[in-house]
Amino acid sequence: MAHQPNLKAVFIDRIAAKVIPGGGMLIVACVLGILVFLISVSIPLFLPAAAKPALNIADQGGCLALDYIEGVGKPWWVTREGTWKAGEDGRPAPLVVPGYEKGKPVAAAQAGTSRATAILYADGRLALVRVEKKRDGNIGVSLLDEQTLSAPAPCEISATRDDEGHARIAILRDGGVTVCGPAGLAGTAETPLETTDARAVAISSTGKILAVARQSGEVDIWDVDDVSEPRKVQTLPAGPAPRTVLAYLIGDETLIAADERGDVSGWMRARHVTLTNSGPAEVVVLGDAVPAGGSVVVIDRDHGKNIAKNGAVKIGPGGNKMVPARTFKRLAAAARTIAVSSRNKCFAIGDAAGGIAVFYATTEQLCLTIPPDAAQPVARVAFGETGEEIAGWTDGLRSWVLRNPHPDVSASALLSPVWYESYAGKEFVWQSSSGTQDSEPKYSLWPLFAGTLKGTLYALIFSVPIALAAAIYVARFGPPGLRAWVKPSIELMAGIPSVVVGMIAALWLAPVVERALCVILVGGLLLPLVFAGGVFVTGRIPRRPDRHPVVGIELAGVVAVLLLTALLAATLGSPVERAFFGGDLRQWLFDTLNVHYDIRNGFLVGIALGFAVIPVIFTIAEDAISNVPATMTSAALALGATRWQTVRHVILPAAASGLFAAIILGLGRAAGETMIVVMAAGNTPILDPAPWNGMRTLSAAMAIEIPEAPVNGSLYRVLFLTGLLLFAFTASLNTVAEIVGNRLRRKYGRI
Amino acid sequence: MNFNGRFWLASLIGSAALTVAVVADTALTVDPGIKEYAKVDGIKGNINIIGSDSCANLDTLWGEGFKKVYPEVNVTVEAKGSATAPPALASRTANVGPMSRAMKPEEMDTVASKWGYKPTGVNVAIDALAVFVHKDNPLQNLTFELIDAIFSKTRKGGHHIDISKWGDLGLAGEWENKPISIYGRNSASGTYGFFKEHALYKGDFKNTVKEQPGTAAVVQGVAEDLYGIGYGGIGYLTPGVRAIPLAKTFQAKIFKPTYENALSGKYPLARFLMVYVDVASGKGADPVVGEFVRFLLSKEGQEIVIKDGYMPMTPGMVTKELEKLNAK
């Protein structure tokens, strides 16, 4: 019978020949796709800011007040003659303000970050207004507060809307400053300050603090909480030139000052302490020298922790003071006017040459500069409600749409220490969100890197010795039957969902470890001793050459040693704790070493994460060892090598590539593991390698914070960046494992 | 080592039991001025709730109650923290976003950029945020300045030393040298944000605060840790912990977290629990959402508030909140 080709088999073969490589390519494409996606989400963090011109309206009437219409994204302004205009669709539209159609305004200012504008009229009326899109869709003016002041001459003002909704303003006229605001039943108080050479004023958003820049270059800080009784609380030292522009950023923690030369600096409120030395000699606390019998007021850097008990130095409150904390890139010309964002720490300064510079305070970066179109000073600048628009006035209105979505992120903010508001100095901090608008997001990646490395390191310290020893034993020493059930059961460990491991670690193991801390410590110290003792004792037992040792007897020996150690540790634990640690090891650690033992800590994570990693390392290592050709081991044994010598000099070198790959893959698994660390690590983003406190890993930060991150916001992109970094980390680990594995394979492959 | 299987089982049961909150103030009743819910015809659809963890049990109970009235309505609840509400509302994954703090302007922008208008926040219950210590802790009371010095590394309250041991708070004897073990919420939580804004004077939490994914876990941590301290909604109070009476300043009077003190504003950490919804008429609005909010503000809805350990609204508040639903 002639051979008939099996058409079906040929067909299937052809399909398979296409599908199988196709599947492989698909996987490669998927991995590359993930990489491209991660990169494309993270890249916009580092794109420079840009401004797209929007409106350009010439208006000879000048501009006293300039701000944005709430809910519309278009500017409005008041001319020097008192005409109100809204910049709609390229041409000014008149605005009607009942009661304010007539009357000449003398000064105006945006009311801090409260999205309102204060306008002072020649007849003494002070109007606090907001121009907004009303419910019916039309644009209208809301009068938020109205006060009557004594009729003012031409002046400049700084204004805010306080917590009760009242306007508080500071009037600067001929070098004198008057602070005005509601004062109890008497109505509005107007109190002149003892200043004759003021150049610029800025009132804080709460209206409680007033900064006055003087001709001398100094800046006085006044407490004006009680408008009728202002108190000078601090004088900031003079810079190289008189300050011409002052403003408080959102949150009132930072004061921006810019001067006649274009230098821009930031001053931040810092809590101080008073250190008083009653002793006979100078004492240095944290680098701050306290003279004998004297006292100093310094920034509070936790001096309390560093003062020896019963020492000569006492610590007391030192109040809040402004300290120079930030410097910015110099402007092209003298600073003329400033606007602050009501969404973040952005501010814009208009200079005498007509340019506008937008800065972000936290990262000290110059986001962008808008070049002048005419060589005239900028009279006013204003941010839109969302901080995504900016308008400036030189001899007419120009406005731009800003594309500056991530001013809070830069390479230096991610990697360098930053001095954040109300901190005592530069620090690496991860504290990405808060419930209020005026706090700075803090995106230092180091605490997350450190947490990932810490968790991984402790996991490997715990798992590598156990997994490798188990692999060697099962593959080479143990009775042949052992492997048949040990290997599947260890591999079964890998099947336990990590959330279960994490839950057991967090809810059951954590309190157990905490209570039995001394027992574990004693056990750890005893184990080598008991082992050495066991080896010594078994060595003394005379070996009977006529009888083979029982297979697996050593396993029983090891179990006996472990049980003995546990028993000894359990009985010795409490007496040792009483004898050496005053009955409470945790307390002793805290009292003598100032170590705060956290119940969710690195040790615990090491065990839990190690438990998850053991199967990975064991399986690959065991395969590698078993695959060493029997001819090699037989030869070694035949030449008279002991079993250990065979393992040490023949099997381990031959299997080294596999063992290395096992450890690296275990490392990758530990670095990427999420649920265990989320549950057992306490998620404290700290930079401390100690085993007694917790950590927050890259993966845990992603898992915890991605649901709260607005899509395409800074946090969202930073989390994707951490994902990219983790991806790159594990990918490079795997590559290293592959390369080293290949090299070792080539080296030993010849054997 | 004194552990056994029973202990392990007990902690599992314990954590399960925590999800059943204990009524804080058994004397609370809904004011008769609040009307019963009146069923409307033709209501069907989905209620997808994503947001505050403080409202987790509340949402579930509300959902069940609402389903009793309208069996054909589907209710899903996901409670991972207030900060998860705005992104979910913006993407319309959720149509009800419970939050335990007010939405930030930036979050409003996020939603408004997708919807074209801002979401409406409706107050639906009252909570007194409590500071919890272990039930055997002898601490009598706290001020904001001391809370700030315990929880915050920035200490904007102005306390001149960091408080790290119970002795720093004046406890003597065996407590004097015991370190304070701090439990808190994760940053997605509105409770985290509210506590940070008020008790920490907008400062930053210490890095050593153990961030828990839910208030139940905070309370459980404190109940198991003799030297623990934590914070959370009063609805999560259990017999294992005690809520500390608070004062705003050293000079101010001290108040317990009771209903009267929360209503009068004397207890300094009282707040509204809110839901953010789309009430714009015509575009995007869903009648089922409006009815759901009306249900929350009804006698039945407020009885659920009490059942879950929170505090009911007053008739005056309810009237004011209902007006928001009728706005254009």
The shortest CB-CB distance from B81 to any of A251, A508, A708 is to: A708
Confidence bin at A353 (pLDDT 50/70/90): very high
Residue A621: the pLDDT is: 92
Burial of A251 (0-12, 13-18, 19+ CB in 10 A): buried
Mean pLDDT, residues B143-165: 89
Per-residue pLDDT for B328 more than 80? no
Cα nearest neighbour of B195 on chain A: A435
Rounded-to-integer distance, Cα B192 and Cα B123, Å: 19
Which residue in A249, A252, A433 has the most chain B C-beta atoms within 10 A of its own C-beta, making it the best mutation to test that interface? A433
Could A707 and B188 be called an inter-chain contact, meaning their C-beta atoms sit closer than 8 Å?
A: yes
Residues in A closer than 8 angstroms to B12, CB to CB, are 507
Residues in A closer than 8 angstroms to B202, CB to CB, are 251, 434, 436, 438-439
Burial of A214 (0-12, 13-18, 19+ CB in 10 A): buried
Residue A444: the pLDDT is: 94
The single-letter code of the amino acid at A279 is G
Could B104 and A435 be called an inter-chain contact, meaning their C-beta atoms sit closer than 8 Å?
A: yes
CB A195 within 8 A of CB A205: no
Could B188 and A704 be called an inter-chain contact, meaning their C-beta atoms sit closer than 8 Å?
A: yes
Strands B142-143 and B246-247: parallel
Rounded-to-integer distance, Cα A294 and Cα A287, Å: 16
- Cβ contacts below 8 Å, chain A against chain B, sum to 164
Cα nearest neighbour of B78 on chain A: A707
* Displacement of CA B146 from its chain's centroid (Å): 22
B69 Cα to chain A: minimum distance (Å)? 31
Kindly tell me the sign of the dihedral angle through the C-alpha atoms of B153, B159, B163, B166.
negative
Residue A471: the pLDDT is: 92
Rounded-to-integer distance, Cα A239 and Cα A230, Å: 25
pTM score of the predicted model: 0.85
Could B187 and A302 be called an inter-chain contact, meaning their C-beta atoms sit closer than 8 Å?
A: no
B213 touches chain A (CB under 8 A): yes
Residues in A closer than 8 angstroms to B87, CB to CB, are 707-711
The residues pairing with A200 across neighbouring beta strands, listed in sequence order, are: A213
Tell me the two tokens of residue A273.
């302490």
Strands B210-212 and B181-185: parallel
CB B151 within 8 A of CB B208: no
The single-letter code of the amino acid at B198 is H
Rounded-to-integer distance, Cα A270 and Cα A286, Å: 17
For B246-273, the DSSP string reads: EESSSSSPPB-S-HHHHHHT-STTEEEE
Residue A309: the pLDDT is: 59
CB A644 within 8 A of CB A522: no
Per-residue pLDDT for B284 more than 50? no
Rounded-to-integer distance, Cα B48 and Cα B93, Å: 7
* B326: nearest Cα among B301, B290, B289, B273: B290
- Report CA Rg, chain B: 20
Which one is predicted more confidently, A584 or B280? A584
Residues in A closer than 8 angstroms to B211, CB to CB, are 682-684, 704
Which one is predicted more confidently, A748 or A561? A561
Residue numbers of B between 137 and 156 with CB closer than 8 Å to A:
153-156
Query: Percentage of chain B with pLDDT > 90?
Result: 38
Q: What is the DSSP letter of A582?
A: T
B8 touches chain A (CB under 8 A): yes
Could B210 and A519 be called an inter-chain contact, meaning their C-beta atoms sit closer than 8 Å?
A: no
Per-residue model confidence as pLDDT tens digits over A199-238 = 999 999 989 999 999 999 999 999 998 888 999 999 999 9
- In Å, how far are A298, A444, A457, B179 from B159, measured between CA atoms? 15, 27, 38, 18
CB A633 within 8 A of CB A651: yes
Confidence bin at A516 (pLDDT 50/70/90): confident
CB A363 within 8 A of CB A408: yes
Residue A370: the pLDDT is: 93
Residues in B closer than 8 angstroms to A435, CB to CB, are 82, 101, 104, 190, 192-194, 196-197
The shortest CB-CB distance from A711 to any of B12, B87, B158 is to: B87
CB neighbour list of residue A719: distance below 8 Å, 6 or more residues apart: A701, A702, A705, A706, A709
Tell me the two tokens of residue A383.
């941010």
Could B11 and A710 be called an inter-chain contact, meaning their C-beta atoms sit closer than 8 Å?
A: no
Query: Percentage of chain A with pLDDT > 90?
Result: 40
Name the 3-class secondary structure at A646.
helix
Name the 3-class secondary structure at B65.
helix
Rounded-to-integer distance, Cα A200 and Cα A336, Å: 10
Which residue in A134, A269, A315, A684 has the most chain B C-beta atoms within 10 A of its own C-beta, making it the best mutation to test that interface? A684
The single-letter code of the amino acid at A591 is D
* Displacement of CA A382 from its chain's centroid (Å): 30
Could B207 and A711 be called an inter-chain contact, meaning their C-beta atoms sit closer than 8 Å?
A: no
B51 touches chain A (CB under 8 A): no
Tell me the two tokens of residue A82.
């008192």
Per-residue model confidence as pLDDT tens digits over B227-244 = 999 999 888 899 999 999
Per-residue model confidence as pLDDT tens digits over A422-431 = 888 899 999 8
B26 touches chain A (CB under 8 A): no
CB A168 within 8 A of CB A207: yes
* The dihedral formed by the CA atoms of A226, A232, A233 and A235, expressed in degrees to the nearest 10: 150
Could B162 and A304 be called an inter-chain contact, meaning their C-beta atoms sit closer than 8 Å?
A: yes
Q: What is the DSSP letter of A695?
A: B
A433 Cα to chain B: minimum distance (Å)? 6
Q: What is the DSSP letter of A648?
A: I
Residue A89: the pLDDT is: 66
CB A717 within 8 A of CB A705: no
Could A437 and B83 be called an inter-chain contact, meaning their C-beta atoms sit closer than 8 Å?
A: no
Residues in A closer than 8 angstroms to B91, CB to CB, are 711
Name the 3-class secondary structure at A409.
coil
Mean pLDDT, residues A330-345: 92
* B184: nearest Cα among A700, A682, A719, A438: A682
CB A266 within 8 A of CB A228: no
The single-letter code of the amino acid at A105 is P
Q: Count each helix (H run) and each strand (E run) in chain A, helices first.
A: 16, 35
B27 touches chain A (CB under 8 A): no
The shortest CB-CB distance from A515 to any of B2, B179, B211 is to: B2
Could A708 and B83 be called an inter-chain contact, meaning their C-beta atoms sit closer than 8 Å?
A: yes
* The dihedral formed by the CA atoms of A504, A508, A511 and A515, expressed in degrees to the nearest 10: -120
Cα nearest neighbour of B206 on chain A: A684
* A405: nearest Cα among A48, A37, A725: A48
Could B162 and A570 be called an inter-chain contact, meaning their C-beta atoms sit closer than 8 Å?
A: no
Cα nearest neighbour of A716 on chain B: B87
Residue B177: the pLDDT is: 85
Residue numbers of B between 61 and 80 with CB closer than 8 Å to A:
80
Could B205 and A693 be called an inter-chain contact, meaning their C-beta atoms sit closer than 8 Å?
A: no
Per-residue model confidence as pLDDT tens digits over B217-226 = 899 889 988 9
Confidence bin at A549 (pLDDT 50/70/90): low
- The number of beta carbons lying within 10 Å of the beta carbon of residue A606 is 24
Rounded-to-integer distance, Cα B171 and Cα B178, Å: 10
A594 Cα to chain B: minimum distance (Å)? 10
Could A710 and B80 be called an inter-chain contact, meaning their C-beta atoms sit closer than 8 Å?
A: no
Residues in A closer than 8 angstroms to B204, CB to CB, are 420, 422-423, 429, 431, 439, 442
Per-residue pLDDT for B2 more than 60? no
Rounded-to-integer distance, Cα B307 and Cα B28, Å: 9
Residues in B closer than 8 angstroms to A318, CB to CB, are 160
Could B210 and A600 be called an inter-chain contact, meaning their C-beta atoms sit closer than 8 Å?
A: yes
Tell me the two tokens of residue B77.
């609840």
Could B204 and A431 be called an inter-chain contact, meaning their C-beta atoms sit closer than 8 Å?
A: yes
B148 Cα to chain A: minimum distance (Å)? 13
B266 touches chain A (CB under 8 A): no
Per-residue model confidence as pLDDT tens digits over A474-503 = 888 878 788 888 888 988 888 899 999 998
Place of tokens 């670690």: A505
Q: Per-residue b/e over B60-70, b at no fewer than 16 CB within 10 Å?
A: bbbbebbeebb
Per-residue model confidence as pLDDT tens digits over A676-726 = 998 888 888 888 888 888 899 999 999 888 877 888 889 999 999 999 999
B168 touches chain A (CB under 8 A): no
